[in-house]
Chain A
C-alpha cells in the first residue's frame, strides 16, 4: 500500500496551492509533510483522499488513481484532522457504532474495547455524550474510529492542532505506540519540526506549494537550522571577545544584550562555556531560527547569513 505523487498541481482562483509536487511513500512508512501555514499540506492530503480534484499531475494511493477510482481509494484510506467532530448528543459508544456500521467493520465491539484499553479510554468514557468529551478524549475517539476500520493507509492532517502542549505530546505518544503495532502507511502533516522529527521516518518539506527537501528528519534538521544564536548579557555590562572558531558574528544591542551567532553543531556548549568563563551572566538562552525563517531560506532565496535571519524561537 504505497503512495505515489507526481507533479501534482492545484490552483484556487489566484492561489497556486501546489506547484507540481512529487514524492513517494513506501509501504508501512510514516512520512512527514512539514510546512508552515498555507504551504499546501491540507491541499495535498485532500487530493490524496479524493476530497479535492487536482488540476494536473497524478496521484496513486494503494495503487489506485485518486481521480479515476475515488471510491476504491476511499476503501483503503482514512483521515484524521483536528477538526473532526462527532455527534454531540450521542455517546462515545453510539458514535463508534454508527461509524463502524457505515464503514462495514465486523466485530467492532471487540476491536473498540481493545483499542480503548490501549489508548486509555474506559467504559465510563464511552457512556458519556460527545458534548462532554474533552478535546483530547475526542481525538482519542477519532483514532479509535479509524483503528477499528483498519485501513492500510492513514493521513493525519495536523492532528494535534488546538491541543495544549501536554495533550499534544500524549497524543503523539499514543500515535507512536499505535503505529509501532499497526502496519499502516502514514502521511503525517505538521508545521512543527519537533513533532515530525519525533514521529516520522522520512519527511518532505513543503513551502508555498513546492517540496524543497526530502530526507531523514534528523539530517534535515541540521540542514534547516544551520545557525544558532546565543543571547545574554553581562551583569557588569562587560564586552566580549570570543576565541571559538565556530563563532560567526557577535552583536551588541542597545539594551546591553549580546548576541553571538554560531554554526550549528556540538560546539554550542563550548561557546556557552567560554561566555560563562568571561563574566557574570544574566539570562542566557540559545535560539534557533523559526521554521518559517528556515523555509524562506530553503526556497532558493539567496543564502542569508545567520545575522540576517530575523525571526528566532
Chain B
C-alpha cells in the first residue's frame, strides 16, 4: 500500500471524526471543558498538599499530579479510540463499508486511532496552558517528555487493538478490559508514587509501560535528566504493544471470518 493512499485515508477519518464532534455543538464545548476542569481540580489539590508541606515527591506535588493527569488523559483517549473503533462501526452499521476496501482492516483501525491522537494532543495543549498560565505550575516540557508520552500512547493503543480484536468475537469483553485499563490509574503512579503501594502491587506496576512513561516524563521534566532505564523500556514497550495488538487483531479477525462474526446482517 502506498504511503500516499494511507495518508488520504487517515485524512478521511480525521475529517469525519472532527465533523462528527463539531455536529454536537454542546458536546463539543463540553469536550473542550473537561480537561480544563480536570486539570484545575488537580492543580488546586496539588497546591493544597504543597501548602501543607508536600507529599515527599521530588519537586512539588502540584507538578507531580498535573503531569500524572495530563499523561493519563493523553493515553485514555487513545485507549478508547483504538479499542472501540471496530465495535462502534459494527454497532452503527457502517462496518461493512469500511471493511470493503482493498487494504487490511488495520488501515481503518489505525486511522481511527491516529484521528483520536489529535484529540489527545488538543487535550494536552489545553491542560498544559491552564496549568502553566492559570495556576503557575511550570512543567518543564522537553522533547523527551513528549517522546515518552507518544511511546506510552503507542503501547496503549496496541493494548486497544488487542481489545478491538477480542471484542469482535466476545462483545462484552470490552467492559472487562475497560476496568483493567482504569485500574492502571492506581498501579502506574498517576496520582501518587508507586512506593506507597503494597509490595506485591508494585510488581504489577513494573509490568505496565505507563509506569515507566510517567517516571521518564517526570524525571526529565523536574530533575532535568533522562533516566536510561525508561529510555530503553519505552520504545520496546511501544513496539511490543503495537505488534501484539496487530497479531491479536489478525488472529481474532481470522476467527471472526470463519465463524461469521465479522458482520451480522
Give me the interface of A with B, judged by CB distance under 8 Å.
Answer: 10, 12, 42-43, 46, 49-53, 71-72, 74-75, 77-79, 81, 83-90, 94, 97-99, 101-104, 129, 145, 157
| Chain A residue nearest to B98 in the complex (CB) | A102
Q: A-facing mask of B55-92, CB < 8 A → 1, else 0? A: 00000000000000000000000000000000000001
Chain A residues with CB under 8 Å of B19's CB are 89-90, 94
In order of increasing CB-CB distance, the 3 nearest A-B pairs are: A85-B93, A101-B12, A75-B102
B177 to chain A, nearest CB (A): 25
CA distance A103 to B5 in the complex (A): 10
Which among A50, A89, A145 has the greatest number of chain B C-beta atoms within 10 A?
A89
- Per the CB 8 Å criterion, the residue count for chain B at the interface is 32
Stretch at the interface among B146-154, B192-200, B255-263: B255-263
Contact B97 A84, beta carbon cutoff 8 Å: yes
For chain B, residues 4 to 36, give those with C-beta under 8 angstroms from any C-beta of chain A: 5, 8-9, 11-12, 15-16, 19-20, 23-24
Q: Which of B8, B12, B19, B265 has the most CB of A within 10 A?
A: B265
Cβ–Cβ < 8 Å partners of B254 in chain A: 53
Given the interface contacts A71-B103, A101-B12, does A89 sit within 8 Å of B20 by beta carbon? Answer: yes
Beta-carbon contact of B24 and A89 below 8 Å: yes
CA distance A94 to B92 in the complex (A): 17
The distance in angstroms between the C-alpha atoms of A176 and B8, with both chains bound, is 34
**Looking across the interface, which residue of chain A has its beta carbon closest to that of B20?**
A89
Contact B265 A103 (CB under 8 A): no
Interchain residue pairs with CB less than 8 A apart (19): A10-B260, A46-B263, A50-B257, A51-B96, A51-B257, A51-B262, A52-B257, A52-B262, A81-B265, A84-B93, A84-B97, A85-B92, A85-B93, A97-B12, A98-B15, A102-B98, A102-B108, A104-B5, A157-B265
CA distance A157 to B96 in the complex (A): 13
Residue in chain A with minimal CB distance to B93? A85
The distance from the CB of A120 to the nearest CB of chain B, in whole angstroms, is 22
Determine the distance from Cα of A77 to Cα of B260 in the docked complex, in whole angstroms. Answer: 19
| CB nearest to A129 among chain B residues | B23
> Can you list, as one digit per residue, whether each of B209-225 has a CB less than 8 Å from chain A (1) or not (0)?
00000000000000000
Whether A71 pairs with B265 at a CB distance below 8 angstroms is no
Find the A residue at minimum CB distance from B108.
A102
Q: A87-B20, A98-B15 given as contacts; is B94 within 8 A of A77 (CB)?
A: no
Q: Does B52 contact A (CB under 8 A)?
A: no
Closest CB in chain A relative to B7 CB, distance in Å: 10
B134 interfacial contact with A, CB 8 Å: no
Question: Residues of A contacting B16 with CB < 8 Å?
Answer: 87, 90, 94, 98
A-B Cβ contacts below 8 A, count: 83
Task: Report A119 CB to chain B, min CB distance, Å.
Answer: 18
Q: Are A12 and B260 in contact (CB under 8 A)?
A: yes
Structural contact, B97 and A99, CB atoms closer than 8 A: yes
Chain A residues within an 8 Å CB radius of B265: 42, 81, 83, 157
Describe B's contact surface by its main secondary structure: helix
Q: Considering residues B11, B15, B260, which has the most beta carbons from chain A within 10 angstroms of its beta carbon?
A: B260
Residue of B nearest to A86 (CB): B94
Query: Within the complex, which residue of B12, B92, B96, B104 is in contact with A102, where a contact is CB–CB below 8 Å?
Result: B12
The answer for the CA separation of A12 and B258 in the assembled complex, in Å, is 9
Is there contact, CB below 8 Å, between A72 and B102? yes
Q: Are A74 and B8 in contact (CB under 8 A)?
A: no
Most buried by B among A74, A87, A94: A87
* Chain B residue nearest to A99 in the complex (CB): B97
**Bound state CA distance, A99 and B108, in angstroms?**
12
- The distance from the CB of A76 to the nearest CB of chain B, in whole angstroms, is 9
Q: Is the CB of B99 closer than 8 A to any CB of chain A?
A: yes
Q: Is the CB of A51 within 8 A of B103?
A: no
Q: Is the CB of B92 within 8 A of A79?
A: no
B98: which A residues are within 8 A, CB to CB?
102
Q: Is B100 an interface residue (CB 8 A)?
A: yes
Considering the chains assembled together, what is the distance between the CA atoms of A69 and B130 in angstroms? Answer: 52
Is there an interface contact between B94 and A87, defined as CB atoms closer than 8 Å?
yes
Closest to A55 in B: B258
Task: Select B258's contact among A53, A71, A102, beta carbons within 8 Å.
Answer: A53
Is there contact, CB below 8 Å, between B101 and A74? yes
- Chain A: CB-nearest residue to B5: A104
* CA A112 to CA B108, docked complex, whole Å: 23
- Which residues of chain A have C-beta atoms less than 8 A from B258's C-beta? 52-53
Chain A residue contacts of B104, Cβ below 8 A: 71
In B207-265, which residues have CB < 8 Å from any A CB?
254, 257-260, 262-263, 265
Specify which chain B residues have a CB less than 8 angstroms from the CB of A78 in the assembled complex.
100
A74 and B262 in contact, given A87-B20, A89-B20 (Cβ under 8 angstroms): no
Assess whether A79 is in contact with B100, with CB atoms less than 8 Å apart: yes
Closest to A67 in B: B257
Other A-B pairs, 15, CB within 8 Å; known A42-B265, A52-B258, A97-B15 = A43-B260, A51-B96, A52-B262, A71-B102, A83-B93, A84-B93, A86-B94, A89-B19, A89-B20, A89-B23, A90-B16, A97-B12, A98-B15, A99-B97, A157-B265
Query: A87 contacts which chain B residues (CB < 8 A)?
Result: 16, 20, 92, 94
Q: Which residue of B lies closest to A94 (CB)?
A: B19
Q: Is the CB of A49 within 8 A of B100?
A: yes
